[in-house]
Amino acid sequence: MDNVYAYIQDHTERAIGLLERLCSQPSISAHGVGLEEMANLTAAAMREYGLDAALLPVEGGPPLVYAEAAGRSPHTLLFYNHYDVQPADPLDEWTSPPFEPSRREGKLFARGVSDNKGDLAVRLEAIAALREVSGELPLSIKFVVEGEEESGSPHFPAAVGAYKDKLAADVCLSEGTGIGPDRTPSLVLGVKGMLYVELSAQSAKVDAHSAYATVVPSAAWRLVGALNSLKEADGRVAIAGFYDAVRSLTPQEKQALAAMPDTSEALREALGLEAFLDGLTGYDWQERLLGAPTCNICGLEAGYTGPGLKTVLPARARAKVDFRLVPDQRPQEVLAQLRAHLDRNGFSDIEIHPIADHERPVRTPVDDPWVQAAALATEQFYGTPPEIAINSAGTAPMDVLVDEVTSSLLFAPGGAGYEGSRIHAPDEHIRISDLVDAIRVTARLLLEFGRMGS
Ligand SMILES: [Zn+2]
């Protein structure tokens, strides 16, 4: 292992050079800028690093970059990455131009340098190190690199379905996790799912003078009533059947939650809250945050909210509502339960418009052998056991990979960034010392994965 670590240290400049090349090409999915060019550049870089790479056409979207390389063990690892980035605005808040990588004070600044081009460079460098030091890869490797992650991956599920035989793998590593404060490494074993809907009420053809409020129904009151019916006074979701499919946490999952560092105080202070809902703290806070589903009003719109007064009775009202789901809830089932709930409570006039694709929750078990191998490799590298999140509180389109391609999916160390990397914001950057460690721990993970079943 020391030879591999030394090789990685000696090739730091090559790694930085690769990352600078990747970050010099704008690839903004929200604006459709530079995606074909970036896909080609990514495939070319992968070929330089000894992988067989090709672009896979995607109906309606930019291509996937696919690559593979054979290794010693009979198992195959699939790396998921994305080659698109967030828009760079506001441009005047960047110290150096976002698509001209700039090195200063031991850091590298550029849009995408952490999210997610850094992870891709890390993985290619780890592969090069293992091959050049030991002559072979410990296991076979595939890559799927998409070009629309920052825009919600609208075409990814269908594309994975179309190429599922090509992508098939024993385990999938999604984007790498960055290093936490105090150098704490982490494994994240899945994501919450998502159902996103717009609810709308229409009470009349046109708005009316508010003098008619005694006799004309209001869309605003209708919608407020419908929204209010979605939750009990104690905050639980009131939709019949909503919790039926929620899988109880296993003893190992509860143990993992209990071992996580308590970040609740820092968040409470950052948000300026007196207290969290129900006075949650410690383990209960952690379990609610990661283990419970949500029903959240993202936005509300009706009538007049401008300056001064306008006495109007709104004919239309709408709200955006998101449900973050946990295993084994299914977005389509929750959608049907929501419709039934509104109908049963006298709100059959409220329309439900699903927005975008629904995502199912994913949670790989703590005792999954690939998770155990990743935890072991991480602990060996950092000298401390990783914190294990049973899933992220957020959502990503990982369900299709678990359905079609692999049974074990996780986020493991090997991200180039840290908590201060300012991803999605001006002056996105990584620390160059973290880049070297990320390559090393990725090599360590690959070696441990290569030992599986042997
Ligand atoms: Zn991102």
DSSP notation for 355-386: -S--B--EE--TT-HHHHHHHHHHHHHHSSPP
- The answer for residues whose C-beta is within 8 angstroms of residue 230's C-beta and 6 or more apart is 237, 238, 239, 295, 321, 341
CA 181 to ligand 1 center in whole angstroms: 20
CA 326 to ligand 1 center in whole angstroms: 22
CA 188 to ligand 1 center in whole angstroms: 16
Q: Which residues of the chain have pLDDT under 50?
A: none
Ramachandran angles phi, psi of 216, nearest 5°: -105, 130
CA 425 to ligand 1 center in whole angstroms: 10
CA 152 to ligand 1 center in whole angstroms: 10
- The answer for residues whose C-beta is within 8 angstroms of residue 310's C-beta and 6 or more apart is 304
CA 112 to ligand 1 center in whole angstroms: 8
> pLDDT for 297-334, tens place per residue?
999 999 999 999 999 999 999 999 999 999 999 999 99
CA 247 to ligand 1 center in whole angstroms: 29
Dist. CA 352–CA 187, nearest whole Å: 37
CA 150 to ligand 1 center in whole angstroms: 5
Dist. CA 332–CA 259, nearest whole Å: 34
**Paired tokens of 131:** 């091959």
The three-state secondary structure class of 58 is strand
CA 141 to ligand 1 center in whole angstroms: 24
Per-residue burial over 257-285, b if 16 or more Cβ lie within 10 Å, else e, is: beebeeebeeebeeeeeeebeeebeeeeb
| HSE (side-chain half, CA atoms, 13 Å) at 328 | 5
CA 114 to ligand 1 center in whole angstroms: 9
**Paired tokens of 410:** 């996780």
409, 171 Cβ separation under 8 angstroms: yes
∠ CA(360), CA(363), CA(364), 5° rounding?
135
108, 102 Cβ separation under 8 angstroms: yes
Dist. CA 324–CA 276, nearest whole Å: 18
Burial class from Cβ neighbours inside 10 Å (0-12, 13-18, 19+) for residue 240 reads exposed
CA 27 to ligand 1 center in whole angstroms: 12
CA 116 to ligand 1 center in whole angstroms: 7
pLDDT at 390: 97
CA pseudo-torsion sign 275, 281, 287, 289? positive
CA 144 to ligand 1 center in whole angstroms: 16
CA 149 to ligand 1 center in whole angstroms: 7
Question: Tokens 């960034």 — which residue?
Answer: 417
Dist. CA 116–CA 91, nearest whole Å: 20
CA 36 to ligand 1 center in whole angstroms: 19
Question: Tokens 């550029």 — which residue?
Answer: 110
> pLDDT for 416-429, tens place per residue?
999 899 999 999 99
Alpha helices in 250-315 (DSSP H): 251-259, 264-271, 282-291
CA 115 to ligand 1 center in whole angstroms: 5
The three-state secondary structure class of 305 is coil
329, 292 Cβ separation under 8 angstroms: no
Q: Where is 295: in which H helix or E strand?
A: none
pLDDT at 419: 87
E-only strand ranges, 61-148: 61-69, 73-82, 102-104, 107-109, 139-146
Cis peptide before 296 (omega within 30 of 0): no
395, 193 Cβ separation under 8 angstroms: yes
User: Distances in Å between the alpha carbon of 115 and those of 16, 144, 174?
Assistant: 15, 16, 12
CA 422 to ligand 1 center in whole angstroms: 10
Dist. CA 107–CA 225, nearest whole Å: 52
The three-state secondary structure class of 430 is strand
User: Distances in Å between the alpha carbon of 352 and those of 115, 200, 229, 320, 337?
Assistant: 34, 7, 15, 10, 12
CA 306 to ligand 1 center in whole angstroms: 34
42, 30 Cβ separation under 8 angstroms: no
374, 410 Cβ separation under 8 angstroms: yes
CA 84 to ligand 1 center in whole angstroms: 9
pLDDT at 454: 65
CA 175 to ligand 1 center in whole angstroms: 10
CA 394 to ligand 1 center in whole angstroms: 12
Give bridge partners of residue 319 from the DSSP assignment: 199, 300
pLDDT at 334: 97
CA 85 to ligand 1 center in whole angstroms: 7
CA 24 to ligand 1 center in whole angstroms: 17
pLDDT at 8: 97
- The answer for residues whose C-beta is within 8 angstroms of residue 49's C-beta and 6 or more apart is 124, 125, 127, 128
